[in-house]
Amino acid sequence: MRRPFIAGNWKMHLDGASISAFCAALRDGASDREDVTVGVFPPFVYLAQVVDALAGTGIVVGAQTCHPEPKGAFTGEVAAVQVKDAGASHVLVGHSERRHVFGETDEDVRARLDAALACGLDVILCVGETIEERQADRTGEVVATQLDAGTKGLDPETLANRITIAYEPVWAIGTGLTATPDQAQEVHTMIRSRLAGAFGSDIADRVIIQYGGSVKPANVAELMACPDVDGALVGGASLEPGSFASLIEFESQENPR
């Protein structure tokens, strides 16, 4: 059975005071959950603060990206080993904003994934298509290419135990648009099927696949009702404690996977 994973990506939002209040609320509301994994991904400068504030809760704390080199003259970058040293357990790689705003290629994403795994971090690997690619009926091709680049040659148990896939259609991020449950399920089914072809169905059936793209309390339940949607990578709706709590709380409903 796959344990749902709901993660909040705070991007370049919040400050120290608001993060302290958020973590206090999160400790009260989510720290005792046993049926869902909860995670937050703050800006780099607040990583250690969040790690300390959530210590002992079981809530995942991760970074929003990492650099593949362990050290060097890379001004403004943070290495995977430094993310690990700050106390984080996870890192996002390949988020659409990293790909489309900062120009990261599939090769760049894979280098970050490999560096994260090598130093003991677990990974959320993001994949997804733009609106132009969807309108050109290239969703399957684009997602498959990104997925293959990020997973080819991995140890199967590493994939099953340490990597979460997040499908985030670029056209639904921060736009208010959301993939319908049918659209999300279609792509998630394709992802799991492709992983099964490469790694076997037993491994593919264990991989957590999140949906990300304007997830909010009003639509999370219908998305999570899809059999291959195992969680959510949440942006804007993760920035306010009450909203994030609502996303988590719906999961108290039975939903075997």
pLDDT in tens, the chain (257 residues): 899 999 999 999 999 999 999 999 998 876 556 789 999 999 999 999 999 999 999 999 999 999 999 999 999 999 999 999 999 999 999 999 999 999 999 999 999 999 999 999 999 999 999 999 999 999 999 999 999 999 999 999 999 999 999 999 998 887 877 789 999 999 999 999 999 999 999 999 999 999 998 899 999 999 999 999 999 999 999 999 999 999 988 644 445 55
Q: Establish if 58 belongs to a structural domain.
A: yes
Residue 217, phi then psi, degrees to nearest 5: -55, -30
Residue 3 identity: R
Q: Establish if 240 belongs to a structural domain.
A: yes
What is residue 61's three-state secondary structure? Answer: strand
Q: How many domains does the chain have?
A: 1
Tokens of 38: 């909860």
Q: Establish if 183 belongs to a structural domain.
A: yes
Cα angle vertex 112, ends 109, 117, to 5°?
125
Model pLDDT for residues 16-64, shown as the tens digit of each residue: 999 999 999 998 876 556 789 999 999 999 999 999 999 999 999 999 9
Q: Establish if 257 belongs to a structural domain.
A: no
Q: Is 168 a catalytic residue?
A: yes
Q: Establish if 247 belongs to a structural domain.
A: yes
Q: Establish if 164 belongs to a structural domain.
A: yes
Q: Establish if 202 belongs to a structural domain.
A: yes
Residue of 95, 97, 129, 251 marked catalytic:
95
**How many CA atoms within 13 Å lie on the side-chain side of 162?**
18
CATH number for 210? 3.20.20.70
Q: Please say whether the beta carbons of 116 and 93 come within 8 A.
A: yes
Tokens of 206: 């264990």
Distance of CA 124 to the CA centre of its chain: 4
Q: Please say whether the beta carbons of 110 and 117 come within 8 A.
A: no
Residue 125, phi then psi, degrees to nearest 5: -95, 120
Residue of 90, 168, 188, 251 marked catalytic:
168
Which residues lie closer than 8 Å to 28 by C-beta, 6 or more apart? none
Domain containing residue 152:
5-252
**Predicted model pTM:** 0.95
Per-residue DSSP letter, 236 = G
Pairwise CA distance, residues 40 & 42, whole Å: 6
Tokens of 203: 């491994």
Q: Establish if 142 belongs to a structural domain.
A: yes
